[in-house]
Amino acid sequence: MQIASAPRLAALIGGAGFVGTALTEALVRSGWRIRIVGRNPGNARHLMPLGNLGQIAATRADLRVPASLEPALAGADVVVNLVGILDEKGGQSFAQVQAKGAALAAQTAARLGIASFVQVSAIGADPASPSAYGRTKAEGEAAVRAAVPGAVVVRPSLIFGPDDGFTNRFAGLISAAPIVPVIAPETRFQPVYIKDVAAALHAVIEGAPAGQAGSTFELGGPQVFSMREIMAFIAAEIGCGGKPFIDTPDVGARLLAAFGSLPGAPLTRDQYLMLRKDNIVSPGTPGLAELSITATPMEAVAATWLSRYRSGGRFGGKTQA
């Protein structure tokens, strides 16, 4: 009699967040067991109903504490590191989390004999980046590859979806402001849908296409927008298309960034440095198409969650000033 093999186990470091939630949903549908690894296992409660009884579990570990990682990753068939920060707060630094933390995760996986490792990085990862965010993302990638040479690196552009911190943040700002300032109006982005990112990670984890070990994928949507175009699109979706937009001069953006360490500041200095460079897929780099995924346009789905910001909710119009 043939004994059925146990379902495969994916350890998702930082899996309770925005991308981890979508990836968990994709993986449980194909029978994977999920172990959410994070500093606070209670943050994963919302994921439990996505799977069958016992299919999803959570365990405590901290990328800054080496002894916590080995028991958290033990027995996994694949490790996915989803951890990243956009600013340094709460005792976390870019170097600790995105460089040293990624290195520790990959070194632990290698020590446990786990050969499948996926590092979720970001477009803009560059050892020569003027921003600490971009430099430490690149340092994390290099450290992961040094520990697990076959690791796959996935770099998304800005990710949009119902619970994102991107379109929702801008929609809230636009709906509240009589005049809308636009920082870095000409910087270009290639926003990518959260479900497409999850599908791409799922495909990478499953090993498609063949020969991808050690590959880097950059994920961008079907359209490239300037910052001004993104803001105008969101404004139209929430019925604020008539509001005036004012481009913020570079000197003004630098001034705002100078106060980035203060509570409620709209921009940190590091974020200002990131915004000075386009965030689009590099020509010739494999992406969604190579993973057999058709990119979803933002206008095809954004109304389903941005409607909450309209006057009158989802039944409100799109042309109010």
* DSSP code per residue over 124-184: T--TT-SSHHHHHHHHHHHHHHHH-TT-EEEEE-SEESTT-SSHHHHHHHHHH-SSEEESS
Instruction: Show the tokens assigned to 249.
Output: 């001069």
Among candidates 69, 58, 57, which has minimal Cα distance to 103?
Answer: 69
Check if the beta carbon of residue 211 is closer than 8 Å to that of residue 271. Answer: no
Give the tens place of pLDDT for each residue, 7-31: 899 999 999 999 999 999 999 999 9
User: What is the rounded CA–CA span in Å between residue 110 and residue 264?
Assistant: 41
pLDDT (mean) for 31-45: 96
Helix axes 101-111, 132-147, angle to 10 degrees: 10
Place of tokens 């799109």: 318
Phi, psi of 281 (to 5 degrees): -65, 135
Provide the terminal-to-terminal Cα distance of the chain, rounded to the nearest Å.
70
Give the number of C-alpha atoms closer than 13 A to the C-alpha of residue 212, restricted to the C-beta side: 23
Q: Is 201 a residue whose pLDDT tops 80? A: yes
Tens of pLDDT, residues 217-265 = 999 999 999 999 999 999 999 999 899 999 988 777 776 666 555 444 5
Is the separation of the CB atoms in 108 and 124 below 8 Å? no
In degrees, rounded to 5, the angle at the alpha carbon of residue 61 between the alpha carbons of residues 57 and 63 is 135
Average pLDDT of span 29-47: 96
249 contact partners, CB below 8 Å, separation of at least 6: none
Q: What is the pLDDT of residue 88?
A: 85
The residue among 129, 43, 124, 133 whose CA lies nearest residue 88 is 133
More confident residue, 268 or 53: 53
Confidence (pLDDT) at 272: 83
Q: Are 298 and 193 in contact (CB under 8 A)?
A: yes
Helix (H) or strand (E) holding 82: none
Report whether pLDDT(200) > 70: yes
The span from the CA of 53 to the CA of 51, in Å, is: 7
b or e along 110-133 (b: 16 or more beta carbons within 10 Å of the residue's beta carbon)? Answer: bebebebbbbbbbbbbeeebebbb
Tell me the fold of 9-156: Rossmann fold (3.40.50)
